[in-house]
């Protein structure tokens, strides 16, 4: 079987790219794969696979038709998925959907990239009627203030699937939502793949391997840090926490506005408590995950799909705090600790207190997550 695969590749600042590398050995064992990318550079993929570069707008019909199937990985971030979506419009294939809400993807493609707000509103009107079009149009001038309202009420997911031959999703919630709206489109669910490596070293009674539990404990936030990753709330919670000297937060990954967040850290007096690491090599992030005590994987609003970041956290038997929303809300209560979006700072403080009171309970939470992954 010959397969075309359109997907972000490392070092792109998305966990989807990293998960691609983890899944490629299993895929290439079953098919002859050509990986397509718009990126000018990419890291080693760890397997012998052909990688071809394309330019947006290039006619790929001849090359793509030589394969038995073409697979497009589509998510909400236009930086990583915009060009992939454009190709999927020209050549039908299977869409692997990484987010249920795709409003921001299409806003960036139509309004910001093409400058065609009218076509964007036409698409909104097609799927959500005249009332939906009027609602979105009224909010376009101040879209940053309404971005999550728009994503929730006008996800535009059908637009990503209208030229597809089928869709694959990684959460039961997304499958249920699409089953009722996708008509006769073939739809399948499979858990997000994540190859499980060797178990991490046994944890000490106080938490992570090889330390005596001495403060400051390492908090870790990583991935593509957009507004829904709740960094603002996390910084505020840490600044107001009476035992904040017991914790140190390290933020790994691309920040949407690094200067803004650096200013926030200074304004809150957190220079000695927070480090914005930015995007780092994979090995450095793996080392950080191995030595951290608690991961902060908050996402609200969630865009609806399963989280490769959460599986990566569990692979390190690392305890984590997650938002009680979307796919995260379906996770077992003994494998994560929930933060209610309506009580974010209060719940963060409660979990910080609980961690300081009994780190071993959180270590057990991390072990339970690892067991679920296995």
Q: Does 125 score more than 70 pLDDT?
A: yes
Q: Which two tokens stand for residue 186?
A: 């073939």
Q: 326, 117, 137, 303: which is closest to 227 by C-alpha?
A: 303
Domains of the chain by range and CATH? 2-102+155-189 (3.40.50.2000), 217-373 (3.40.50.2000)
pLDDT tens string 208-266? 544 545 689 999 999 989 888 999 999 999 999 999 999 999 999 989 889 999 999 99
pLDDT tens string 107-118? 999 999 999 999
pLDDT tens string 63-72? 999 999 999 9
pLDDT tens string 93-110? 999 999 999 999 999 999
Report which DSSP code applies to 333.
T
User: Cα–Cα distance between 352 and 362 in angstroms, integer?
Assistant: 11
User: Cα–Cα distance between 291 and 113 in angstroms, integer?
Assistant: 41
The answer to whether the bond into 339 is cis (omega within 30° of 0) is no
User: Cα–Cα distance between 162 and 305 in angstroms, integer?
Assistant: 19
Helix axes 231-240, 344-357, angle to 10 degrees: 60
Output the pTM of the full model. Answer: 0.85
């Amino acid at each position: 079987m010959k397969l075309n695969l359109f997907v972000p590749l490392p070092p792109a600042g998305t966990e989807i790219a990293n998960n691609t590398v983890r899944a490629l050995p299993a895929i290439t064992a079953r098919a002859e794969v050509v990986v397509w990318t718009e990126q000018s550079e990419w890291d080693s993929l760890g397997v012998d696979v052909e990688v071809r570069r394309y330019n947006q707008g290039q006619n790929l019909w001849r090359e793509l038709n030589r394969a038995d199937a073409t697979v497009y990985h589509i998510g909400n971030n236009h930086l990583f998925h915009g060009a992939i979506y454009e190709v999927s419009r020209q050549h039908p294939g299977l869409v692997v959907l990484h987010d249920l809400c795709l409003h921001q993807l299409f806003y960036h493609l139509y309004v910001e990239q093409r400058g065609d707000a009218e076509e964007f509103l036409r698409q909104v009107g097609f799927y959500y009627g005249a009332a939906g079009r009027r609602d979105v149009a009224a909010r376009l001038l101040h879209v940053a203030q309404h971005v999550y309202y728009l994503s929730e009420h006008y996800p535009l997911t059908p637009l990503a699937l209208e030229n597809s031959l089928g869709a694959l999703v990684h959460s039961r919630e997304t499958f249920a939502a699409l089953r009722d709206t996708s008509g006769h489109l073939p739809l399948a669910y499979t858990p997000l793949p994540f190859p499980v490596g060797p178990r991490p070293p046994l944890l000490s009674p106080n938490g992570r391997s090889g330390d005596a539990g001495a403060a400051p404990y390492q908090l870790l936030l990583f991935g593509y840090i957009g507004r829904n990753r709740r960094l603002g709330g996390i910084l505020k919670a840490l600044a107001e926490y009476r035992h904040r000297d017991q914790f140190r937060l390290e933020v790994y990954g691309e920040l949407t506005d690094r200067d803004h967040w650096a200013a926030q850290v200074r304004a809150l007096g957190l220079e000695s408590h927070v480090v914005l690491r930015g995007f780092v090599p994979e090995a450095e992030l793996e080392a950080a995950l191995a030595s951290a005590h608690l991961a902060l994987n908050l996402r609200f609003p969630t865009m609806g799909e399963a989280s490769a970041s959460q599986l990566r956290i569990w692979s390190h038997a690392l305890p984590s705090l997650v938002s009680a929303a979307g796919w995260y809300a379906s996770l077992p209560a003994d494998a994560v600790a929930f933060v209610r979006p309506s009580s974010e700072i209060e719940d963060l403080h409660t979990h910080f207190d609980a961690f300081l009171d009994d780190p071993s309970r959180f270590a057990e939470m991390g072990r339970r997550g690892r067991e679920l992954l296995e």
